[in-house]
Chains A and B, each alone.
Chain A
């Protein structure tokens, strides 16, 4: 996507944060937090590092992020008109939407029939990955730092060398009858 040069000062971060917060919502980071809608009591994708991940060029998303954020706000304008919403102009249009309306718009943009679906799904994929795999951080370091997504999922701490090992792994007893046609090599007949 081409870069727009007309508004170089515009900060895309709140719009991206609001998108990430729609995918996996979090708690407000403070009283003035507009991007995070605050519908959850625990950290979500934004605190987990969604913008850090998206702004890392390794994702292949970074160059197009400004355009995506602008496009999201353009879609928001059309959506607001359609629903007769009057948006607070102090923040970007998508940030001004309520959580319910953000969700409805993201559903529309990621639906199979939407022509831009691929881009919005990719954006969601990385917002998801920031939370559930912390793909912008070394996992052992993220675990040591108490990364909120990995912690919430209950991922256990690795050994001191950063590798996982599980001594106990099996119920250790037969739990089903074998298929009667199993061959001596252990395969289906």
Chain B
């Protein structure tokens, strides 16, 4: 038996939480190793192909739970490789949410104001750009026009995108072939590697134990690159500091599995999961009415028929992001694209007349109108009602297919509060898009795979109250010093907008504390790296907040 390898900082997961920590710690001088369960795909690997085994199924995971199914990244770069790069900041009221615990759920030290400099750091690093109406796709433009017609406002979304390089292929979920999407593969990760970070793909962490010297030992399996059901080996790496960033669907599972050897976990590990209050509606458009009522024309005789064209969401309506409204009635309504397969089976038939709502001859007729579909995405306030059951034998799910599809232990029974937000948003989408015969609108069914989310959150969250938060406000796991959680599971609750910007800002904010903990354990590391491209204005902005900056 060989002795375990060792590193200063072991990072589990290479999405926003893992990559940002890995970059800063490596740039600051620490020896950093990143374990990523998925493959390391690069631009030329990103295919336009629905065949099982293509990048589309290799790069992300679909885990079916009891009442909630979770879509998440499964590759180096994590969610950033498969996401749509929409990067709005969370509205101010979100940080004052009380949620299911009846008092403010965020730590006192975190508000929109205190997070703003960290948002700025991320905006510089990605970088985040604003879209003009010339950039907005047909689908986004249609949604904007319909909102306007109904007396609402609508905004082009801030994005992490090279607009000139984008060809509007709508294959973002399979990774960007054209390097237009500014995923972590284009900023934090190459910078981390340049500073010596070692990234090991197809290494799936199973559990964490302690070493005799006060550090941690991380136990992993290696995974076959084609059939993720096959484990090809196992190993261990010792570290002084562990940064856990496996995603909200996996981070708590690793901690649950580690509990017998690490000791009691905080109560909130694997509890308070939020699906970001997500909900989808599909509008089946009447092309003639789109032309007549909204006056839209593509210039080629078509009013729309553009479901296939674009780059995910480009426009959102934020009228309901009003802090004076009661909690559970605030949400954003965002135009979205979902590819066929996942994006079609849950779409329901309007006027099913007592027949099946999601299959059969009428569904086939609806698919024939697929070019005239418009998907509207609700992000609302749920009640953090998700709870993880006992962990599966390995990984975060029992894998069914060679890639992508698995069965997990998450249970989610939506409360009346959550259902209220969904129902209000369903009504509003219908009101906007059925006005004057523009479309027929139906929500996706929750009867098949439960509710669903592409933005899992809060399963190991920060907070001030040890009873309802697993992490302190520095992202350190309560009772387990030296373990930090920096991913979406640390976010306390639903954000009512796309969460990547907030996940990334919190990860940036957590780094000085991780650096301090590493230094306490004898690691020669300093805080104060510029943005991955060398820009320094973000660093200047956070300087007053970081007494630990030692390199400048």
| Interface size in chain A (residues, C-beta < 8 A) | 69
Given contacts A56-B52, A176-B148, A186-B88, contact A166 B360 (CB under 8 A): no
CB <8 Å contact, A25 and B360:
yes
CB <8 Å contact, A135 and B51:
yes
CB <8 Å contact, A188 and B321:
yes
Can you list 10 contacts pairing A with B, beta carbon distance less than 8 Å?
A56-B52, A60-B405, A122-B405, A129-B345, A132-B367, A139-B50, A163-B177, A166-B310, A171-B145, A180-B153
Further contacts, 17 of them, CB under 8 A, given A58-B402, A61-B400, A186-B88: A24-B364, A44-B364, A124-B359, A128-B359, A132-B344, A155-B340, A155-B370, A164-B171, A168-B309, A170-B137, A172-B134, A175-B145, A176-B145, A176-B152, A176-B154, A179-B155, A188-B497
Of the listed stretches A7-15, A71-79, A86-94, A103-111, name the one at the interface; the rest are far from the partner chain: A103-111
Tell me if A51 is interfacial: C-beta within 8 Å of chain B. Answer: no
Tell me if B298 is interfacial: C-beta within 8 Å of chain A. Answer: yes
Bound form: Cα–Cα A118–B88 in Å: 36
CB <8 Å contact, A164 and B88:
no
B91: chain A residues at CB < 8 Å are 187-189
Q: Of the candidates B64, B89, B136, B340, which one forms a contact with A171 in the assembled complex, judged by CB atoms under 8 Å apart?
A: B136
Q: What is the interface of chain B, defined by CB distance below 8 A to chain A? A: 47-54, 64, 88-92, 119, 123, 128, 130-131, 133-138, 141, 144-145, 147-148, 152-158, 167-171, 177, 227, 229, 296-300, 305-306, 308-310, 315, 317-319, 321, 332, 339-341, 344-345, 355-356, 359-361, 363-364, 367-368, 370-371, 399-403, 405, 407, 447-449, 497, 501
Tell me if A174 is interfacial: C-beta within 8 Å of chain B. Answer: yes
CB <8 Å contact, B141 and A170:
yes
Bound form: Cα–Cα A178–B171 in Å: 28
Between A106, A125, A149, A170, the greatest number of chain B beta carbons within 10 A of the residue's beta carbon is seen for A170
Q: What is the interface of chain A, defined by CB distance below 8 A to chain B? A: 22-25, 39-40, 44, 56-61, 103, 106-107, 110-112, 118, 121-122, 124-125, 128-129, 131-140, 149, 152-156, 158, 162-166, 168-183, 185-189
Bound form: Cα–Cα A44–B360 in Å: 10
B536 to chain A, nearest CB (A): 19
CB <8 Å contact, B359 and A122:
no
Given contacts A125-B345, A138-B49, contact A174 B133 (CB under 8 A): yes
Main secondary structure of the interface of B (DSSP, over half): loop
CB <8 Å contact, B400 and A60:
yes
Bound form: Cα–Cα A126–B5 in Å: 43
CB <8 Å contact, B399 and A175:
no
CB <8 Å contact, A23 and B360:
yes
CB <8 Å contact, B356 and A166:
no
A111: chain B residues at CB < 8 Å are 447
Given contacts A132-B341, A132-B344, A163-B48, contact A170 B138 (CB under 8 A): yes
CB <8 Å contact, B153 and A177:
yes
Q: Of the candidates B64, B169, B341, B501, which one forms a contact with A164 in the assembled complex, judged by CB atoms under 8 Å apart?
A: B169
Bound form: Cα–Cα A183–B6 in Å: 46
Q: Of the candidates B52, B144, B356, which one forms a contact with A106 in the assembled complex, judged by CB atoms under 8 Å apart?
A: B356
Nearest 4 CB-CB pairings of A with B: A176-B154, A187-B89, A176-B148, A165-B167
B51: chain A residues at CB < 8 Å are 134-139
Considering the complex, give the chain A residue whose CB is closest to the CB of B227.
Answer: A58
Bound form: Cα–Cα A176–B319 in Å: 12
Bound form: Cα–Cα A178–B430 in Å: 21
CB <8 Å contact, B364 and A153:
no
B148: chain A residues at CB < 8 Å are 175-177
B123: chain A residues at CB < 8 Å are 185
A127 to chain B, nearest CB (A): 8
CB <8 Å contact, A25 and B144:
no
B50: chain A residues at CB < 8 Å are 129, 133-135, 139
Given contacts A60-B405, A131-B367, A171-B141, contact A155 B134 (CB under 8 A): no
Between A23, A61, A107, A185, the greatest number of chain B beta carbons within 10 A of the residue's beta carbon is seen for A185
B48: chain A residues at CB < 8 Å are 139-140, 158, 162-164
Considering the complex, give the chain B residue whose CB is closest to the CB of A127.
Answer: B359
Bound form: Cα–Cα A161–B147 in Å: 38
CB <8 Å contact, B359 and A179:
no
CB <8 Å contact, B345 and A168:
no
CB <8 Å contact, A122 and B400:
yes
B367: chain A residues at CB < 8 Å are 24, 131-132, 149, 152-153
B94 to chain A, nearest CB (A): 9
A35 to chain B, nearest CB (A): 16
CB <8 Å contact, B169 and A187:
no
Bound form: Cα–Cα A166–B178 in Å: 13
A150 to chain B, nearest CB (A): 8
CB <8 Å contact, B321 and A171:
no
B371: chain A residues at CB < 8 Å are 153-154
Considering the complex, give the chain A residue whose CB is closest to the CB of B170.
Answer: A164
Bound form: Cα–Cα A188–B92 in Å: 8
A168: chain B residues at CB < 8 Å are 298-300, 309
A129: chain B residues at CB < 8 Å are 50, 340-341, 345
Considering the complex, give the chain A residue whose CB is closest to the CB of B360.
Answer: A103
CB <8 Å contact, B309 and A166:
yes
